[in-house]
Structure 1
Amino acid sequence: MKFKNRIALFNTIATAVITALVFIVIYAVVNKTAYSHLDDDILLEKEEVFKYIKGFKDEIIIHNFPEWDEVEHKEVNVNPTFLQIVDAQGTVVFHSENLLNDQFLFSPNNQQEKFYDSELTGQKIRLGQFPIKNEKGKIIGQLTIAVSQKELFVILNNLLVVLLISFPIMLIVQYVASSFAASKAIRPVHQLIKTASGISGSNMNTRLTLPTRRDELYELANTINELVIRIEKSMKQQKQFTGDASHEIRTPLAAIRGTLEVLIRKQREPEFYEDKIRDIINQVDRLDTLLDQLLHLARIESGVIFANKESILLLPFLTELTKKWIPVADLKNIKIHVETPIEATIFADKMCLELILDNLVTNAIKYGNFNGHVFLIWNAALKTLSVKDDGIGISDEHLPNIFDNFYRTDESRSSSIQGNGLGLSIVKKLAELQHIKIDVKSQLEKGSIFTLQFTT
């Protein structure tokens, strides 16, 4: 079933339930009002009759009055009113002429007025029974007054027929109207579907037209547009990542190929071969580092890596890592300073944190000046660990992009400083994985400060 038909069906079902309840209430109110009207007529007749009935001891005295001679008490066919009076023994002492030889059933022990339904010669009637009392309040007989329900029955029957016929007709009209209204209402959805189905990888710049009214369809279209923007950005990043990765892999491979081609052109001295082989080994190491970092990125983005946080004593942890950094730092005579109190404790994943600090400190050494310094400073009040260097620094224009994949602040890919621009991207993703906030401040020729803020 189509969406518009489902809407129409649900609306029709709801309308059917509500309409049925309304019709039932209408019928019940009309029925009660009609019977109440009949009962009021009976009570009025009772007041008139009791003016000419007196109870004396055990006798019922009936005075002659014009009411007895009215047509309604003589005729059976035209709005008749039937009267019957019985004494305490159940003997009929009076009945109206239109009652003929019939007799009403009555309750001899009735203590108060009551109303009930019955039939007389096939005609539905409404009856009221009223006790007749003497001067001492003793019940000495019963007055029964009956009126025809013919008109009432016709009215209620006609009302019931009208309601039963109009109910399905109204539901059919409701379904058709709801289906038409739903069709009009979801027309913008069809337009959204048509536009959205035309969006593909080749035209990701297409956007859905936003409705003029800020309703749910507006929110839907706006959400889809935002989704398309994110997908477009992701695809651009993927294409850029693929291109950058290809370039980074192709560069060392080209260097290796070029070196090997030089070696096979003619016979060389052994020292020349050794020098070129070292170059090849350096390029292989570069490839190995690149592939290792690409693997780290793939594992992080695929959700394979999970943060296994634990309590870490910071000073022993940094002291152990420093042993790995010192040989690299010694090549540029850079001193590494750990300014961390012995009681400092953090809550983090040890392996991920080691990889983060390894990238940050290695970068600080790589871009540091000869005879420079690298500081690892713990701030207990802010719960931050800062990696500070006094190297070449980063310009303001580059700072917003340094955590992007393959982004390097040096303009040339053939820079004398080796790197592929993946280290800080890995740092950023591993920090986010552990809910560690990372911040960077830098000035050209003065150095950089990378700050890790840990949660409690």
Structure 2
Amino acid sequence: MTIRKRLTLRFTSLVSSIILLAFVSIYAFCWFFISSDFYRRLDRKANTTGDMLIRHRLDAQLIRQLGRIRKDQLPNQNIMVFDSRDSIIFITNERLPITIPKSVLADIRQDKQKDFQQKGYYLSGTRFMTASGQYVVIASAVNVYGDEFLRRLLWALAVLFFLIVGITAFSGWFFAGDALRPMQQIDQIVSDIFPRNRDERLLINQDDDEISRLSSTINRLLDRVTESFRLQRMFVANVSHELKNPLTQISSQLEVSLLKHREPEAYQKTIRSVLDDVGDLATLTHELLKLSQVNQEDAIGLLTDTVRLDEIVWDIRDEVTAINPRYQVTIEFGALPDDPDQLAVQGNKTLLATALKNLTENACKFSDDGQALIHVSFDPNWLTISIQNRGQSIPSADLPYIFEPFYRSRQTADVRGYGVGLSLVERIIRLHQGKIQVTSTAGKPTIFSIELSRQTRQF
């Protein structure tokens, strides 16, 4: 069932229930008022006849004549008087005899008064106590006008109820369709966006309503999806390019070796060259594997260590300086806490060490003098690690893309590498819900700053 049908059905059911309750209440009130008024009139006639016949002992024929000349006669009115033996001793209209069960007469004697209906007649019975015994006077009549009014009221309310239900259902269908029309437009536009036009976006109204916020959310999602497609295409293109070169070199060297018979030394040289190319392929595969393993979905299982950053930076200095004798790493600390454990964060020690090592090695590699400076600072909420060097600045046009996989600027085109390191660093820091920024200006040091929260993270 569609949302439009559900909304229409619920709206119609709600309004119908309210209208039905109101109409039932109106009918019940009218029925109660008309019945009570008619029973009151019958009770008055029964008491009047009983007083004249039983208490004042007027002649029965005189009472009948008085009843006939009165102008307030009710339709099919009849008054009966029963003695203590349940025998009729007086009746005003013998043509309309009504059989009264003895059990009803016993109830009237016990309760003193009783109103009831029998075969379309309204009856009101009253008990009279005298020295000669108990008498029961019952007045009966047909409530022609009251019953006719109630029938017409019932028909009018029934017709009006179904008319209101029909109008409500039509209005609910119309207004539900009007309210859901933006959703239909969103569905149509989103269906047209993929795969034909990924750059198209939903229109956002000025009204700050749910549809506008949903459209904004969908537009942001589409931006992320488009960016993912762009990165995927770039990733595949770069991987293909990086794999193509060593594979082509391997194939060319092997083909040349097979053209003619050579000395063993030549074959050994070719094999060593092929092994170097295979090593490059293995290194590239290892880098891609590391990059694919760092995902946000794995945060719960990965970030379980308590990592002392001051210990990591000392280990990294030793590892980087051991890579190349030219590399020199200096470590500085800002204002440190009294408790050394406050320099710890929740995370993965191996991943953080990999990220800091990549940044430090890059800083030394691209420094004019092979030196890098690691600065560690502390505040109650964040730990900040800055890695800087003095060398050729990163062009401003390249800064937005340096964390993308396989991105190589002209400045680093002749440097051995695959462009995976900074992308891996950015993904590791994002996995730790930290921040990484880079500032690079001509004549000033290039600084990579990492901020890691000291608060316990929830995943």
TM-score range, shorter chain: 0.7 to 0.9
The 5-angstrom pairing of residues 24-423 of structure 1 reads 24-46=24-46, 48-49=48-49, 52=52, 55=55, 61-62=57-58, 68-71=65-68, 79-88=75-84, 90-98=86-94, 104-105=100-101, 106-107=105-106, 109-119=109-119, 124-133=120-129, 140-157=134-151, 159-160=153-154, 178-179=172-173, 182=176, 186-210=180-204, 216-250=210-244, 286-301=280-295, 303=297, 306-314=301-309, 316-330=311-325, 332-337=326-331, 344-370=343-369, 372-375=371-374, 377=376, 379=378, 381=380, 383-392=382-391, 394=393, 397=396, 398-408=398-408, 410-412=409-411, 414-415=413-414, 417-423=415-421
Shift in CA distance, 184/368, structure 1 to aligned 2, threshold 3 Å:
closer
Q: Is the 8 A contact 2:317 2:329 kept in 1?
A: no
| Deviates further, 315-324 or 383-392 | 315-324
Partner Cα separation in structure 2 for residue 72 and residue 405 of structure 1:
113
The 5-angstrom pairing of residues 9-20 of structure 1 reads 9-14=9-14, 17-20=17-20
Letter of the 2:284 counterpart: L
Letter of the 1:238 counterpart: Q
What are the Cα deviations for residues 219-243 of structure 1, in whole angstroms up to 9, with x where unaligned? 4444433332322222122222333
Partner Cα separation in structure 1 for residue 10 and residue 381 of structure 2:
59
Q: Is the 8 A contact 1:83 1:99 kept in 2?
A: no
Cα drift, residue 98 of structure 1: 4.7
- Gaps (5+ residues) in structure 1? none
Cα drift, residue 290 of structure 1: 3.2
Partner Cα separation in structure 1 for residue 391 and residue 260 of structure 2:
43
| Deviates further, 304-313 or 250-259 | 250-259
Scaled by the length of structure 1, the TM-score of the pair is: 0.75
Cα drift, residue 81 of structure 1: 2.3
Partner Cα separation in structure 2 for residue 126 and residue 193 of structure 1:
66
Q: Is the 8 A contact 2:47 2:126 kept in 1?
A: no
Shift in CA distance, 380/412, structure 1 to aligned 2, threshold 3 Å:
closer
Scaled by the length of structure 2, the TM-score of the pair is: 0.75
| Deviates further, 348-357 or 379-388 | 379-388
Partner secondary structure for residue 405 of structure 1: coil
Cα drift, residue 273 of structure 1: 11
Partner Cα separation in structure 1 for residue 174 and residue 329 of structure 2:
80
Letter of the 2:387 counterpart: K
Partner secondary structure for residue 424 of structure 1: helix
Partner Cα separation in structure 2 for residue 84 and residue 328 of structure 1:
125
Q: Is the 8 A contact 2:31 2:150 kept in 1?
A: yes
Cα drift, residue 453 of structure 1: 1.8
Letter of the 1:327 counterpart: A
Shift in CA distance, 447/154, structure 1 to aligned 2, threshold 3 Å:
closer
Cα drift, residue 35 of structure 1: 1.0
Letter of the 1:424 counterpart: L
Partner secondary structure for residue 233 of structure 2: helix
Partner Cα separation in structure 2 for residue 204 and residue 346 of structure 1:
41
Cα drift, residue 454 of structure 1: 3.6
Cα drift, residue 428 of structure 1: 1.6
What are the Cα deviations for residues 238-296 of structure 1, in whole angstroms up to 9, with x where unaligned? 22233333344445566777888999999999999999998877665554433322222
Aligned residue number for residue 451 of structure 1: 450
Partner secondary structure for residue 94 of structure 1: strand
Q: Is the 8 A contact 1:368 1:389 kept in 2?
A: no
Partner Cα separation in structure 2 for residue 18 and residue 335 of structure 1:
80
Cα drift, residue 49 of structure 1: 4.2
1:434 maps to which of 406, 409, 432: 432
| Deviates further, 443-452 or 198-207 | 443-452
Cα drift, residue 429 of structure 1: 1.2
Cα drift, residue 15 of structure 1: 5.2
Q: Is the 8 A contact 1:314 1:342 kept in 2?
A: no
Shift in CA distance, 454/226, structure 1 to aligned 2, threshold 3 Å:
closer
| Deviates further, 308-317 or 36-45 | 308-317
Partner Cα separation in structure 2 for residue 322 and residue 437 of structure 1:
22
- Gaps (5+ residues) in structure 2? none
Partner Cα separation in structure 1 for residue 383 and residue 340 of structure 2:
15
Cα drift, residue 129 of structure 1: 1.8
What are the Cα deviations for residues 25-51 of structure 1, in whole angstroms up to 9, with x where unaligned? 344233222212212322443565466
Cα drift, residue 79 of structure 1: 0.9
The CA RMSD measured in Å over matched residues stands at 4.7
Partner Cα separation in structure 1 for residue 260 and residue 393 of structure 2:
45
Letter of the 2:240 counterpart: S
